[in-house]
């Protein structure tokens, strides 16, 4: 039995449509699997958001060591300027080890990365500074359309969390009083 030309065209259109839908669903499924554990969720708190990011292992270790991870699970709201692993790697190993072994200095440095309010990138763009939990202020700026925080470049902004937001930065911030 042969189909009429118009029915052949309809059958081909239907087959192509089904193939496109099928491949689109497969792509979305594969994409979701590849992002698993790397996306933030507004259901997670700030500490949970950072712990799900593969590029923040050093920060997470420091937060746990000082107990600040428990603080960042609290009510908030918080803005965390999260130094990436590459940011910590910029610090010479001897200095980095000394910082991690200094039970008084490490919490001061980490608190300098936390602001006790939620500031999305659009909020930061309208401010010149924000006061940290540590007590000092971070200077804010814009360099060629890129958000800058105390000289550090925001490499990933607006990771929205249940109790705040995380902005990944390329440099560990050191407070003046913490030097």
pLDDT digits (tens, 9 = 90+) for 142-166: 988 899 999 999 999 999 999 999 9
CATH number assigned to the domain comprising residue 114: 2.30.180.10
Is the N-terminal amide bond of 77 cis, ω within 30° of 0? yes
The whole domain housing 29 covers 1-36
**Helices (runs of H) and strands (runs of E) counted in the chain:** 8, 7
Helix (H) or strand (E) holding 146: strand 146-149
pLDDT of residue 32: 37
Per-residue pLDDT, 35? 37
Does residue 170 share a domain with residue 87? yes
d(CA 145, CA 65): 35
Same structural domain, 116 and 155 = yes
In this structure, are 19 and 61 located in the same domain? no
Phi–psi pair at 153, nearest 5 degrees: -90, 135
Q: How many domains in the chain? A: 2
Q: Are residues 51 and 24 in the same domain?
A: no
Residue ranges of the chain with per-residue pLDDT less than 50: 3, 9, 11-41, 178-179
- Considering the domain architecture, whether residues 13 and 55 belong to the same structural domain is answered as no
Task: Say how far apart CA 66 and CA 132 lie, in whole Å.
Answer: 17
Task: Please check whether residues 134 and 88 belong to one and the same domain.
Answer: yes
* Residue 96 to residues 42, 87, 89, 92, 158, Cα–Cα distance (Å): 32, 11, 8, 6, 27
β-bridge pairing 146-149 and 152-161:
antiparallel
The secondary structure of residue 116, as a DSSP letter, is S
pTM: 0.76
Task: Print burial letters for 127-145: b (CB count within 10 Å at least 16), e (below 16).
Answer: eeebebbbebebebeeeee
């Amino acid at each position: 039995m042969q189909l009429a030309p118009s029915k052949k065209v309809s059958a081909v259109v239907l087959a192509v449509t089904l193939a496109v839908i099928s491949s689109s669903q497969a792509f979305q499924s594969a994409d979701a699997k590849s992002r698993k554990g790397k996306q933030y969720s507004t259901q997670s708190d700030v500490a949970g958001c950072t712990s799900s990011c593969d590029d923040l292992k050093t920060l997470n270790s420091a937060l746990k060591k000082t107990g600040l991870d428990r603080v960042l699970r609290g009510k908030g709201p918080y803005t965390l300027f999260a130094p990436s692993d590459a940011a910590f790697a910029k610090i010479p190993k001897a200095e980095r080890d000394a910082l991690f072994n200094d039970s008084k200095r490490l919490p001061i440095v980490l608190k300098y990365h936390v602001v006790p309010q939620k500031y999305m990138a659009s909020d930061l763009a309208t401010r010149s500074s924000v006061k940290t939990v540590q007590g000092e202020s971070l200077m804010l700026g814009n360099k060629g359309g890129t958000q800058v925080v105390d000289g550090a470049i925001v490499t990933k902004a607006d990771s929205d969390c249940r109790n705040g937001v995380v902005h990944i930065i390329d440099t560990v911030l050191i407070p003046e009083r913490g030097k």
